[in-house]
A and B are shown apart, each in its own frame.
Chain A
Amino acid sequence: MRWLRTCLQAAAVLAAALSIGGCFSNRQNEGAKLYQTHCASCHGEQGEGLRRLIPPVAASDYVTRNRASLPCLVRKGQRGPVVVNGVEYNQVMPGHTDLTDSQIANLLNFVQQNWGNKNEPYTIREVSELLGRCNGSDGQ
């Protein structure tokens, strides 16, 4: 019976989404699209990284362990050595001032819940708060 309830809930959500002018309709794959646009050429189309040069984001212990600092990492970039899945990497990652807080939330939720990562998603409000730590929130 649970599947029936899930279906009904999904239908209700869909109806609600349609009734408010489809304002979420383009958001559905936003995280995946943002990943392809902003991350894939370095971290790989499947998040696999590149040898010992670029760390993977797929099945990545770093992504799990650093949940709270990832929004600032995306916003400000990162340099210096990092260890991911036991391998040391040392590359410069550029920051992204071209993404809004909500885009960072969608992007990180995509990464946190795909390719073997099964981590708690963020709310946009939470991402904005976390970005506040590095003065990186644009409030959008």
Chain B
Amino acid sequence: MMRFLLRQALRSSALAWSAGLLLASCSLDSNPDKAATLPYIGEREVKPRADGGPADTVFAVVPTFHLTNQQGQPVTKATFAGKVYVTDFFFATCPSICPKMQSELLRVYEQYKGNPRVAFLSHTIDPDHDSIPVLRDYAERLGVKDASQWHFATAPRDTIFGLAHAYFTAAQPDKEAPGGVAHNGTFALVDSKGHVRGLYDGMVKAEVDRLIRELPVLLKEEEQTAATAAN
């Protein structure tokens, strides 16, 4: 199977390459194999099998969580069953990086608006201020009407900071930082099994462009996994 895939990959890249030579001036955006699968990010555990067969690799998963979104609805892992989703961490009165970051996430959202397989999850890191009405107002001002696709969610502080850690986003209370919380603008792309499959700097357009390119790669993988499971 591996050999077959490899051979096919070689063949298609050779095809793309020769096509590239023939149509030298055409930008083919070739290299279809470049991001054939996305990496698994985080700790992995290799579990030897009792029967001596090949060891299983267990990839890190996001822990279970219970959040509440801008409509007061619960948001849990079940909310994202069968979906891939993109996370970030923000707060409504964030004066520094959030507007830029959210405007970049809006670019991604606009492309997948209405797609039931893609969701967005913005966590507030200032739950004391960002009540549900504040989150609802924020979402509406940002132009996000569909709370079932883009959740602006809150939970107790510790839960949020724990989740930030799980999504590889730096977030911690800091009296020196504007707004009292230091955080960065990481976007995490998560698959339907809860594995983080991509991290992107939401403050950098080129990085968000990479997210826009990699999302379909993950969706395709999800499709294939679902098809294999169905057979």
Q: Which residues in A have some Cβ–Cβ distance to B below 8 Å?
A: 40-42, 44, 50-54, 91-94
Contact = CB atoms under 8 A, between A and B. Distances in A.
B102 A50 contact: yes
Contacts of B140: 52
A28 B138 CA distance: 38
A50 B96 contact: no
Interface in B67-100: 93, 95-97, 99-100
4 closest A-B pairs by CB: A41-B100, A52-B141, A94-B95, A53-B141
18 contacts: A41-B96, A41-B97, A41-B99, A42-B100, A50-B102, A50-B103, A51-B141, A51-B143, A52-B140, A52-B141, A52-B142, A52-B143, A53-B99, A53-B142, A91-B93, A92-B95, A93-B95, A94-B95
Interface of B: 93, 95-97, 99-100, 102-103, 106, 138, 140-143, 178, 203
B142 A51 contact: yes
Given A51-B142, A52-B142, 6 more contacts: A41-B203, A42-B100, A51-B106, A51-B143, A92-B93, A93-B95
A70 to B, nearest CB: 17
A53 B93 CA distance: 10
Contacts of A53: 99, 102, 138, 141-142
Contacts of A44: 103
A139 to B, nearest CB: 26
Nearest to B137: A90
Contact of B178 (A50, A52, A91, A94): A94
Contacts of B99: 41-42, 50, 53-54
Given A50-B102, A94-B178, A42 B142 contact: no
